[in-house]
A = this chain, B = another copy of it.
């Protein structure tokens, strides 16, 4: 028995023009929706993550408190639980899985929230990394519905540099002949391991390695950290799913839709939600400068960087306790506004 539910989306037409037939949105809820339906938090997942990882900070007594809030964690399309290359029946399976945007994700999540639960207002949307990108999209696409947003280590639009970082990740997977242009029957594990090694240098900071934080975390050596953590977390996944989410990431842009026609500043300006935008000071692919620029165009936003050497991973749900407390405090403060 899975520990999550599935919302049947039916046939959804994506921004690309493809129709994903019998599309599914896997989700999990925590806590109870109150009578006024005003205690809702939406907490989308990150790249390669599923609702399981988000659960770490949905804890009684912490900001995302299931005894107070009704917390919905929708799984991103492509993550292996919601419709993905790995679980979609032919003909849209594997390499033929269509490009899905964050816009497509948020439209699906909006249907879940409104059709399944009859919710009209969301107290807060928050998320880490690609979850932060989805958070920005919620704010821009449904400005009258979303009261607060707190994107952590993610941007409203994927920068050129971030795009290039992802080209490196993608090329590592696809250099493996066993990938077979996506038509593999067995995972291209050499490519997935290479992907893990490429990722390892990007996701935490230079100082994280300089101070050998991985030893404090219990890894026995640098190589052990690379194999156990970085290769390990990638070989458990599906190559096409990773590539599908990567496509979503590379194409992240809150203005790439008919509401804003590519006018990025207009889309940022339309976000009415009270916002704390939270980069990490040492994040190498979502650097604070990109968020600072975004905050400058948002009417109700504050920039609040995490001062940490954990780089991008500083924002991971509960991963580094001091950073997690910093995130938790901000969640609490924003919810009280």
Chain B residues with CB under 8 A of A172: 168, 171-172, 175, 194, 198
> Once bound together, how far apart are the Cα atoms of A60 and B178, in whole Å?
53
Contact A289 B200 (CB under 8 A): no
Chain A binding surface SS class = helix
Which residue of B170, B173, B193, B209 contacts A160 across the interface (Cβ within 8 Å)?
B209
> Once bound together, how far apart are the Cα atoms of A174 and B193, in whole Å?
11
Chain B residues with CB under 8 A of A285: 201, 206
Convert A47-61 into 0s and 1s, putting 1 for each residue whose CB lies closer than 8 angstroms to a CB of B.
000000000000000
> Once bound together, how far apart are the Cα atoms of A19 and B115, in whole Å?
73
Contact B206 A168 (CB under 8 A): no
> Once bound together, how far apart are the Cα atoms of A290 and B205, in whole Å?
13
Chain B residues with CB under 8 A of A119: none
Interface presence of A287 (CB below 8 A): yes
Interface presence of A163 (CB below 8 A): yes
Interface presence of A165 (CB below 8 A): yes
Contact A168 B200 (CB under 8 A): yes
Interface presence of A18 (CB below 8 A): no
> Once bound together, how far apart are the Cα atoms of A14 and B148, in whole Å?
63
Convert A189-227 into 0s and 1s, putting 1 for each residue whose CB lies closer than 8 angstroms to a CB of B.
011011001111110011111101000000000100010
Copies in the complex: 2
Chain B residues with CB under 8 A of A287: 206
> Once bound together, how far apart are the Cα atoms of A170 and B190, in whole Å?
12
Chain B residues with CB under 8 A of A209: 159-161, 163-164
Interface presence of A5 (CB below 8 A): no
Contact A197 B168 (CB under 8 A): yes
Interface presence of A284 (CB below 8 A): yes
Chain B residue with the shortest CB-CB distance to A284: B284
**A193-B171 contact in complex given A207-B289, A210-B161, C-beta closer than 8 Å:** yes
User: What are 29 residue pairs bridging A and B, where the CB atoms are less than 8 Å apart in the complex?
Assistant: A160-B222, A161-B209, A161-B210, A163-B222, A164-B222, A167-B197, A167-B226, A168-B194, A168-B197, A168-B198, A170-B197, A171-B193, A171-B194, A171-B198, A172-B198, A174-B190, A174-B194, A175-B175, A175-B190, A175-B193, A176-B177, A177-B177, A177-B190, A198-B198, A201-B202, A206-B285, A206-B290, A207-B289, A284-B284
Q: A161-B210, A164-B209 are in contact. List 7 more A-B contacts (CB 8 A).
A: A160-B209, A161-B201, A163-B209, A175-B194, A176-B176, A177-B177, A198-B198
